[in-house]
Chains A and B, each alone.
Chain A
Amino acid sequence: MNQPAQEWPLWEVFVRARAGLDHKHCGSLHASDAKMAIQMARDVYTRRQEGCSVWVVRADHITASDPQNKETYFDPAEDKVYRHPSFYRLPDAVDHM
Chain B
Amino acid sequence: MYTQAMDTAPKDATPAVRSADEAALQTRFDARIDAGEFIEAKDWMPAHYRKTLIRQISQHAHSEIVGMLPEGNWITRAPTLKRKAILLAKVQDEGGHGLYLYAAAETLGVSRDELLEALHSGQAKYSSIFNYPTLTWADVGTIGWLVDGAAIMNQVPICRCSYAPYARAMIRICREESFHQRQGFDALLTMMQQGTDAQRAMVQDAVNRWWWPCLMMFGPPDDQSPNSAQGMRWGIKRISNDELRQKFVDATVEQARVLGVSLPDPALQWNAARGHWDFGAIDWSEFWQVVGGEGPCNRERLSARVNAWQAGAWVREAAMAHAQKHTIQQEAA
Contacts and interface: CB of A to CB of B under 8 A. Distances in A.
- Direct contact between A and B judged by beta carbons closer than 8 A: yes
Interface of A: 1, 4-8, 10, 26-30, 32-33, 36, 44, 47-48, 64, 66-67
Interface string B210-231: 0000000000000000000000
B172 A27 contact: yes
Nearest 6 CB-CB pairings of A with B: A32-B319, A33-B323, A32-B323, A28-B103, A7-B113, A67-B43
| Range of interface residues on B (Cβ < 8 Å) | 20 to 34
- Chain A interface, >50% SS class: loop
A38 to B, nearest CB: 13
B273 interface: no
B99 interface: yes
A44 B106 contact: no
Interface string B85-116: 00001001100100110010010000111000
Contacts, number: 49
Contacts of B99: 29, 44
A75 to B, nearest CB: 15
- Chain B interface, >50% SS class: helix
Contacts of B112: 7, 30
A67 B45 CA distance: 12
Given A29-B103, A48-B176, A67-B40, A1 B113 contact: no
Contact of A4 (B93, B169, B172, B317): B317
A36 B42 CA distance: 28
B321 interface: yes
Contact of B319 (A8, A28, A67): A8
A28 B106 contact: yes
B322 interface: yes
A26 B176 CA distance: 14
15 contacts: A1-B320, A4-B317, A5-B113, A6-B320, A7-B112, A8-B316, A27-B169, A28-B103, A29-B99, A32-B322, A33-B326, A44-B99, A48-B176, A67-B40, A67-B44
Nearest to A65: B42
B103 A1 contact: no
B20 interface: no
Interface string B38-56: 0010111000000000000
Contacts of A30: 112
